[in-house]
Structure 1
Amino acid sequence: MELFPSIEKASVQEIKTFQEEKLKELLKYLESHSPFYQRLFKENNITISEIQTLEDLQKIPTTAKNDIQQNNDDFFCVPMTEIVDFSTTSGTLGDPVTFGLSDRDLERLAYNEAISFACAGIQKGDVVQMITTIDKRFMAGLAYFLGLRKMGASVVRMGPGIPELQWDSIFRYKPKYLITVPSFLLKMIDYAEKNNLDYRNSSVCGAICIGESLKNQDFTDNILSQKIKGKWNIQLYSTYASTEMSTAFTECEFQIGGHQHPELIITEILDDEGNPVKEGESGELTITTLGVEAIPLLRFKTGDIVKAHNEPCECGRNTMRLGPVIGRKQQMIKYKGTTLYPPAMSDILNDFNGISCYQIVIHSNEIGLDEIIIKLSTENNDENFISEVRDHFRAKLRVSPKIEIVDFDILSKIVFHPNSRKPITFIDSR
């Protein structure tokens, strides 16, 4: 198996032509097998033979998560007897959606992860410790395992949490890479320092980071990344994926955005009116999956606001790259005339060493305006510290949220809920 697919080194025009052929195959497949898209084509008088280019995609309406929530079964293109794995989306926004994968879909998923991990520098024979769940209907954990196995790496399936066990495993099996939520690395460092573990001389040289952003929009390290690297000199690689896409955008060694895999996904970045944004502008990532058998998606709006980068990368790939997610479209907050996204607020809170745990809560007040409450745990709960946090918000984001101090034992149980795959640092109760 080629871990650096030749299509990724092809010219931009060759990649486009290749994707247009794949798109035609997908449209024929949907017209034959997908009850949802058959209906969509019929209701909108779409003749698929007229869709010849990527630009022609504009003639087809977009699909959103609520379409799948309301018509979940109609998205299946194969009989249930051919589904070998059931996954659900993480339910960050609204009810989770059921995704079934056929045997071929699992093969595709493994291939996607293998070429993505190879992009970040993992090689055959490397030991990789997975600090992520592989159960609870979580597609990503299974994908990592299958991808590492496909590329010939060795896997230590540790699962999330428990720093003591993670370190025991690191010193025992000497992994070169970890797969983890980056904020957990701070917990591991804290545990190592309190217990005099020589973590700086461990076997670990890098971490593939999921679920949280590591970079600012200009690809400089954000506060979280700086905090980790300030203590532990390891490489941190960003990766972006979702259950719906079954495809990952992972950074190469030059770390200037996650590379697209042209064999697996077509991407569009659209403005609020559904038109492609101009070069260099941000918009909503809209994806079309290629090679998916059970639940292929056509022009699916992910809800993530991103920016594409098209200038050549020194690694030799000519593929489009995605910058860090700016925010979730449905989590956009209008606060006293300012537009905000939760990641910008998280960056500010990560700036403070004294904050051990936090949660951002948005709700509508009695006159229908968005209100922001920041709950945080800190050993330093005097008024000066709270004023300092508030001043930081004013300076960086020009807003002054309400701040509540909450006991760590209470708040940490809510943020690190056992049934959630990611820390619940944001609650939108509007």
Structure 2
Amino acid sequence: MIPDIEKATEEEIQLLQEQRLRELISYTTKNSAYYKRIFRENNLQASDINTLADLTKLPTTSKEDLQRYNDDFLCVDRNKIIDYVTTSGTLGEPVTFALTDNDLNRLAYNEAISFDCAGVTTDDILQLTTTIDRRFMAGLAYFLGARELGAGIIRVGAGIPELQWDSIHKFKPTYLIVVPSFLLKLIEYAHKHGIDPNKAGVKGAICIGESLRNDDFSLNTLAVKIKKDWNIPLYSTYASTEMSTAFTECKAQQGGHHHPELIIVEILDDEEKPVSVGMPGELTITTLGVEGMPLLRFKTGDIVKAHTAKCSCERNTLRLGPVIGRKKQMIKYKGTTLYPPAMYNVLNYFNEIEAFVIEIAHNDIGTDEICIKIATQNPTDTLLQTIKDHFRAKLRVLPKIEFHDFKTLQELRFPKMSRKPVIVIDHRL
């Protein structure tokens, strides 16, 4: 099911993207109040943007722009809107996105070809272990994508390991769509109830929301712990509501593949210039084929590397490596630049840690401070010292570490209206 354009040459891909970019520019300058204003304020005409290189004539769009002018991005009449979704609001107020019938079809196409990247076929059954309600785009996308692909899907929803295992035994899914850390909960339940996960018939997990890999694509601590007890392929994905597009690993597992027919990718430095090949920068995207609320040069806030070496699958598209961190969550700590995912990797090493929250704040002299709050059933000085030693060895710095009871951390991790756990609380924002 690999689309022809994803097997095309770099030149052919560029030609298609530039054709669709011109269509997008014409569409947004006629229908988007926000982009009409941007073009007017920058003395630009639609005809000024013809090539991918011309995109740099436009200013970028930020999350703050989306929050402040949310309704101005809408390009259709309200009676054309079929579904409303909202972002999770991890770094600010949630943003509403309105989807038309065509947008839902695009979402289904995106997820179908993304599942295909991970090897899912019409013979497979996917078990969805995340919510499909609460204005959550991803759950809807997974359902629509499975339907478009012709695969079966079981909508179990979030949590409840007992119900997940009941569904696995009853319906025999071949893939799970799952947050990686929840796989550890399923493994824990299986061990307590005499279930061998490796005999369950599941042949792969499409993992969302958490990183599985180090920068060199080796498995990180979390993935190693999962595969130790459940030896199935783990496929990384990266997506967001704003993009309406996913980057999913193929069987080579060397980064999530770009769908060039759906999205234009730029990797920018702090001055909003393209980074050198292989260097990290902020992922900035332009959505193609979105009807309700298309975006031009939207800065995702995520720091990534693009990989362009030929993949062993037939796709010739660029691939995104694991998210290094969110730009706003970059920490300057004791002379070292850190992102929270590096700390996740250290903390996930310890089976004794039941939950953790990372708090970031400015101290009295304006520099960054980190406090890691940990819940464990065995809060001993020995464990605390072992965790500290591991931080020194892996990251060469030692944040403040505190033990707290599990209930207190759960209240921090699941604030009111949250759809997913909050792992980082940044008081600097």
**TM-score, normalized by length of structure 1?**
0.98
Indicate the residue corresponding to 1:421 in structure 2.
419
Shift of 1:413: 4.1
User: Following TM superposition, by how much is the alpha carbon of 1:14 offset from its aligned partner in structure 2, in angstroms?
Assistant: 0.7
Aligned to 2:157, the other structure's residue is in SS state coil
CA deviation map 1:44-100 (0-9, x unaligned): 011221222211111111000100111111100001111110000011110000000
Matches of 2:333 and 2:139 in 1, distance apart? 36
Long gaps (5+) in structure 2: none
Q: CA RMSD in A?
A: 1.1
Q: Which residue, out of 316, 336, 339, partners 1:338?
A: 336
Residue 399 of structure 1: which of 397, 400, 416 is its match?
Answer: 397
**Matched residues in 1 for 2:168 and 2:40: separation?**
56
Once the two structures are TM-superposed, the CA of residue 365 in structure 1 deviates from its matched residue by 2.0
For residues 146-172 of structure 1, the C-alpha deviation after alignment (integer angstroms, 9 at most, x for no partner) is 000111111100001010110011000
Name the counterpart of 2:282: 284
Q: Distance in 2 between matches of 1:320 and 1:409?
A: 43
The alpha carbon displacement at 1:263 in A equals 0.6
Instruction: State the shift of 1:130 in Å.
Output: 0.1
Q: For 1:46 and 1:348, how far apart are their aligned partners in 2?
A: 49
Q: Is the 8 A contact 2:161 2:185 kept in 1?
A: yes
Q: How far, CA to CA, are the matches of 2:202 and 2:265 in structure 1?
A: 34
- In 1, the alpha carbon distance for the partners of 2:76 and 2:248 equals 29
Aligned to 2:410: 412
Q: What letter matches 2:74 in structure 1? A: F
Q: Is the 8 A contact 1:355 1:376 kept in 2?
A: yes
Give the alignment of 1:348-387 within 5 angstroms.
348-387=346-385
2:397 is paired with a residue of what secondary structure?
coil
Alpha-carbon distance in structure 2 between the residues aligned to 1:425 and 1:300: 25
Are residue 233 (structure 1) and residue 231 (structure 2) matched?
Answer: yes
Structure 1: unaligned runs, 5 residues or longer: none
Q: SS at the partner of 1:84? A: strand
Q: How big is each residue's C-alpha offset from its partner over 1:324-363, in whole Å with a ceiling of 9 and x where there is no partner?
A: 0000001111112211100000000001121111111111
Residue identity opposite 1:25 in structure 2: E
Aligned equivalents of 1:87, 1:65: Cα separation in 2: 16
Whether the 8 Å contact between 1:211 and 1:422 is mirrored in structure 2 is no
Contact 2:90/2:422 (<8 A) preserved? no
Mapping for residues 28-427 of structure 1, pairs under 5 Å: 28-416=26-414, 419-427=417-425
Identity across the alignment (%): 63
Task: Tell me how far 1:28 sits from its aligned partner.
Answer: 0.5
SS at match of 2:12: helix
Deviations 1:160-201 (A, max 9, x none): 101011001100000000001000000110011011123220
Please give the alpha-carbon distance, in whole angstroms, between the structure 1 residues aligned to 2:414 and 2:121: 32
Give the TM-score normalised by structure 2.
0.98
**Higher mean C-alpha displacement, 219-228 vs 402-411:** 402-411
Q: Which moved more, 1:207-216 or 1:389-398?
A: 389-398
Whether the 8 Å CA contact 1:261–1:319 is kept in 2: the answer is: yes
